[in-house]
Chain A
Amino acid sequence: MKILVPVKRVIDYNIKVRVKADNTGVDLANVKMAMNPFDEIAIEEALRLKEADVASEVVAISCGVTACQETLRTAMALGADRGILVETDVELQPLAVAKLLKAIALNESPQLIILGKQAIDDDANQTGQMLAALMGWPQATFASKVVVDVAAGSVTVTREVDGGSETLALTLPAIVTTDLRLNEPRYATLPNIMKAKKKPLDVIKPEALGVDVTPRLTTLKVTDPAPRSAGVKVANVAELIHKLKNEAKVIA
């Protein structure tokens, strides 16, 4: 069974972004980029399935600018067998990414596609669900546990939901999106980083896949959120209670 893992190149999660002065977006010049943390979890899960002999091949895919090759090399250093870059400078929105991934899935015939539940830049939380819809496959989003039964042609997934958790049984092929507690991703070792440089990485263009990636949403402007006015330090519990009662009036 083959597993596809789409991996997105995003701003490093430790960095607090700054909105550009002309309000056209956020400033990404010279900012550290990394693999979306949820996608590291997706790669890890796929690798564990391979190490357990459930999966035979793990293919990482990224859609975006040339520099996404670095993200794919990271995925391969972690253990993915090969990489595919769908290269474009066009702003990609989730529906376009889902259509590109569908075109690749139709060529690759995976049984499972594991995505992150959300990318930490655009926070859309859409791509996996959209891909599932386009493929006509079942989906289990926000996964905290994944058990594949190849013989039965099913995958059982525990999901983190608002009130607690739930477990779904899906027929394969299927889509899974990862939540934070699915696993703890490994680190790439230096020898594996070197080996990853020799692993195959295909580069294709959206046109070659016959996909129109024109954005559907126009970003009119990007602004700073309203700042919070600076607060005060209180000296002790008594002062805190006094302020909450008499100044903020949030407790009786």
Chain B
Amino acid sequence: MSILVIAEHDNLTLKVATRNAIAAAAKINITLATEIHVLVAGVACGDAAQQAAAVAGVAKVIVADAAHYGDQTAENLAALIVAQAGGHTHILAAATSNGKNTLPRVAALLDVAQISDIIAVLDADTFVRPIYAGNALATVKSADPVKVITVRTTGFDAVEASGGHAVIENIQASTDLGQAKLVNRELTKSARPELAAAKIIVSGGRGMGSGENYHTVLEPLADKLGAAMGASRAAVDAGFVSNDYQVGQTGKIVAPQLYIAIGISGAIQHLAGMKDSKVIVAINKDPDAPIFQVADYGLVADLFQAVPELVAAL
């Protein structure tokens, strides 16, 4: 028996989130002392498979290379994972939009529960997961023969990208179900670090007033700090930035070294996405804004004055 981790990748590169999920697998493996396998399903995904084979602690990389895995559609991926499920006690993926899309489907096909967004492993059957926007932590125990789990990446430090020497095994693709077709994909191109993996995040809310302000005021600060940029739901809904910037209960969960919330009030749904950051700074003109209750350093000021001042002084 072994533990299977589903790789998050774009065929060329293995995403860091995969190594966070492998870290959770390694925790589970402390009591099981078995092997960790990684499934790389994609098209022309040899590079991603090589990178997976180099990750510390991985014993085997299983590769399914076929056109119909290229777009990572849930129907085909889930069918493939279910075909590979035998021999595995646990199936894990990072709680990314792909992981969240696919693993519940896998669990239902296996007739087992899925455990979402775990942040800690207590033993091979027992896990901790946040509920109610992170305002409570549930410790849950699974009695299912196979545990299907998504891993909150901020809960587990990524294992090393190198040091492993896994064997690579190519497997037969499942047949294309042909139920879903990718028509178009618009990914935000940015030279900045990825939000989910950034050390510093500069985040703007409704207080920015406009998309133009968001960019002209916050970008210089992000540039100075080498930071990723995030936003509240209100800023995204108002069209200041695109949806992939949203931090929160229903957006991205982040835990950088430094999170700077600017013109963000601190609604519970926003806090759910960033309150595990190491250091939180809030800049808000309202001294009673709830964001100050979680901020390590609060500055009551007009952001249009304070942020340029900050940029100049850094």
Q: How far is the CB of A104 from chain B (nearest CB, A)?
A: 16
**Inter-subunit contact A218/B243 (CB<8 Å):** no
Q: Assuming A133-B104, A234-B299, what are 6 further A-B pairs, CB within 8 angstroms? A: A121-B132, A162-B244, A218-B140, A223-B139, A238-B313, A244-B297
Interface residues of B (CB under 8 A from A): 73-75, 78, 96-98, 100-109, 111-117, 126, 130-144, 177-188, 196, 200, 225, 233, 236-237, 242-244, 249-250, 252, 257-258, 268-269, 275, 278-281, 287, 292-301, 306, 309-310, 313-314
Known contacts A180-B237, A240-B299, A248-B279; is-contact A166 B134 (Cβ 8 Å): no
* Residue A250 lies at the interface, judged by CB distance under 8 Å to chain B: yes
**Inter-subunit contact B135/A138 (CB<8 Å):** no
**Inter-subunit contact B244/A163 (CB<8 Å):** yes
The proximity string for A residues 118-161 relative to B, scoring 1 for CB distances below 8 Å and 0 otherwise, is 10111111111111111001111110100000000000100111
* Residue A198 lies at the interface, judged by CB distance under 8 Å to chain B: no
Residues of A within 8 A of B310 (CB): 237, 240-241
| C-alpha spacing A159/B180, complex, angstroms | 13
Residues of A within 8 A of B186 (CB): 164-166
**Inter-subunit contact B126/A167 (CB<8 Å):** no
**Inter-subunit contact B140/A220 (CB<8 Å):** yes
Residues of B within 8 A of A243 (CB): 297
**Inter-subunit contact B132/A17 (CB<8 Å):** yes
Q: What are the 4 tightest A-B residue pairs by CB atom distance, in nearest-first order?
A: A138-B179, A129-B104, A130-B108, A133-B108
| C-alpha spacing A26/B130, complex, angstroms | 12
Known contacts A130-B114, A160-B244; is-contact A237 B108 (Cβ 8 Å): no
Contact of B136 among A170, A218, A224 (CB under 8 A): A224
Residues of A within 8 A of B109 (CB): 133
**Inter-subunit contact B141/A220 (CB<8 Å):** yes
Residues of B within 8 A of A124 (CB): 114, 116
Nearest opposing residue in chain B for A230, CB measure: B293
Residues of A within 8 A of B275 (CB): 228
| C-alpha spacing A129/B110, complex, angstroms | 13
Residues of A within 8 A of B126 (CB): 220
**Inter-subunit contact A250/B257 (CB<8 Å):** yes
**Inter-subunit contact A216/B142 (CB<8 Å):** yes
Q: What would be 5 A-B contacts, judged by CB atoms less than 8 Å apart?
A: A168-B183, A228-B296, A237-B301, A241-B313, A250-B258
Residues of B within 8 A of A130 (CB): 104-105, 107-108, 114
**Inter-subunit contact B104/A126 (CB<8 Å):** yes
Q: Please report which residues of chain A, range 36-89, place their CB below 8 angstroms from some CB of chain B when the two chains form the complex.
A: 38
* Residue A217 lies at the interface, judged by CB distance under 8 Å to chain B: yes
Residues of B within 8 A of A121 (CB): 131-132
Known contacts A167-B182, A168-B183, A170-B180; is-contact A123 B131 (Cβ 8 Å): yes
Query: Which of A131, A169, A216: most chain B Cβ within 10 A?
Result: A216
Residues of A within 8 A of B252 (CB): 162
Residues of B within 8 A of A225 (CB): 130, 134-137
B-binding segment of A92-100, A105-113, A188-196, A202-210: A92-100
Query: Which of A93, A138, A218, A231: most chain B Cβ within 10 A?
Result: A231
| C-alpha spacing A81/B233, complex, angstroms | 32
| C-alpha spacing A123/B141, complex, angstroms | 17
Q: How far is the CB of B16 from chain A (nearest CB, A)?
A: 12
Q: How far is the CB of A30 from chain B (nearest CB, A)?
A: 17
**Inter-subunit contact B244/A166 (CB<8 Å):** no
Q: How far is the CB of B250 from chain A (nearest CB, A)?
A: 6
Nearest opposing residue in chain B for A163, CB measure: B187
Q: Please report which residues of chain A, range 228-252, place their CB below 8 angstroms from some CB of chain B when the two chains form the complex.
A: 228, 230-234, 236-238, 240-241, 243-244, 248, 250-251
Residues of A within 8 A of B106 (CB): 133
